[in-house]
Amino acid sequence: MDEVIYTLDPEGDIFLVLDNVTENLPGSLWDIEDSTLSGFPNSSMHPEPLPEPPEDIRYPGQQPLREPPEDIGNPGQQPLREPPQDIGNPEEENRAVEVDYREDTDQSVNAPQDHQHVEQHLQIRASSKHLTLACLQFKRTLQHGFQEGNELKSKGYLKIPVQDWPALPFLIVMMVIHGRTWTVPRKVSLERLAEIAIIVDYYECYEAVEVFSDMWINALAERPLESVSDAEKWLFISWVFQQDTIFERSSKCLQLRYTTNMATIPFPIPSSVRDAIDTSREKSIERVVECMHDLLSRLQSKTIQCCYECDCMLLGALTKQMCEMDILFSRPKSDFPGICFTGLARQCRNMESPRWYRKKGYSAHTCDLSSSLAPLVESLEDSLTGLHISSFVQLRGPGHLQ
């Protein structure tokens, strides 16, 4: 395993260690290509459709940072002394192993397998002053009285393993916090921005990255919500960075297009936000299903709705289509798995009705199923307007709405 050392502060007393880094990183921080950090497939900065987010992205528990290994150095060392070479002496940085970070070519595909990728061990030398000033999570963990804080005070440095985050978004956040912004990309992909938002939310460094987060969001904000996956990412991003307009737009998309409850969303959205989206989605779907059953009951009753022939034909058509939708004999479960409001509304608008003529008539009969359901569907559609972040802002620390 190759070792790469990036120094954000030459006098830094915190060593953030990431093992098994999957990206091929260059030996020098300043040699990282913009396209590598930005998350775009190339340096053209044109967003492309992104894959679905991995299901295992979960928000780690708010626990103190892990206790570093005991073999870091001599416990008797005084604070601010230079750490041992194996944890990132700045004089050794230039001797770090250089890694092949050239872009893939046809030749590289045919190269021996052991040259295609080398797992790396990344150490980031950082400053406890920068981290505690910018990040409430580090401030709590490194304060006097906690094990990490006591060790930092006694030794003068602290080695912290970082196991929960992918290397590149974590590196971007650390560079911004330390003012090493020359290589920080001015545009990032939506996937990368979502990864950054998870890290920012965990370490609670909202203000420190605000200038860049605004820049990244503005570059992507006009991009249409192409999928539910996009809406999930934008909902979380807008929550973390307090973007009310985007929060409203993405939550509306999920109200209309989500097919399950929000417990499955792969981002740490507050439960009250998830519940609000679930409730509005489920109530709207329930109203449509109830309306269809009410229409079915009226057509089955002794009371003639139009005429006997019309009622019979509409009853048969409605029964057949409700059976195909699997909502005829039993109502769906309360969370309506597999059903989204947009899809249900489309089915209601496209319901087929028999076309028939009275004897010696020249015009088709005008009664149809879709016109009976359309007013309610349109009314419910208009009511699903998304959520306002101001209704939930009390759930997180100080911030401002945009």
pLDDT classification of 143: cutoffs 50, 70, 90? confident
Per-residue pLDDT, averaged over 146-169, amounts to 92
pTM (predicted TM-score): 0.77
pLDDT classification of 345: cutoffs 50, 70, 90? very high
The pLDDT of residue 97: 37
Most confident residue range from 35-44, 53-62, 178-187, 392-401: 178-187
pLDDT tens digits for range 321-340: 999 998 988 777 888 999 99
Segment among 145-149, 252-256, 359-363 with least mean pLDDT: 359-363
Query: What are the strands, taking DSSP E only, across 135-289?
Result: 158-161
State whether the Cα torsion 281-282-287-288 is positive or negative: positive
The pLDDT of residue 373: 92
Average pLDDT of the chain to the nearest whole number: 82
pLDDT classification of 357: cutoffs 50, 70, 90? confident
Q: State the Cα–Cα distance between residues 290 and 300, nearest whole angstrom.
A: 15
pLDDT tens digits for range 243-301: 999 999 999 999 999 999 999 999 999 999 999 999 999 999 999 999 999 999 999 99
In the structure, how many helices (H) and strands (E) does the chain have?
Answer: 14, 4
Most confident residue range from 106-115, 266-275, 351-360: 266-275
Alpha helices in 301-333 (DSSP H): 308-324
Q: State the Cα–Cα distance between residues 74 and 338, nearest whole angstrom.
A: 59
- Confidence check: pLDDT of 108 > 80: no
Query: What are the strands, taking DSSP E only, across 267-336?
Result: none
- Confidence check: pLDDT of 73 > 80: no
- Confidence check: pLDDT of 66 > 70: no
Q: What tokens appear for 157 in the block? A: 């440095």
Per-residue pLDDT, averaged over 6-17, amounts to 96
Q: Report phi then psi at 19, rounded to 5.
A: -95, 160
Per-residue pLDDT, averaged over 198-225, amounts to 95
Residue count of the chain: 402
- Confidence check: pLDDT of 88 > 50: no
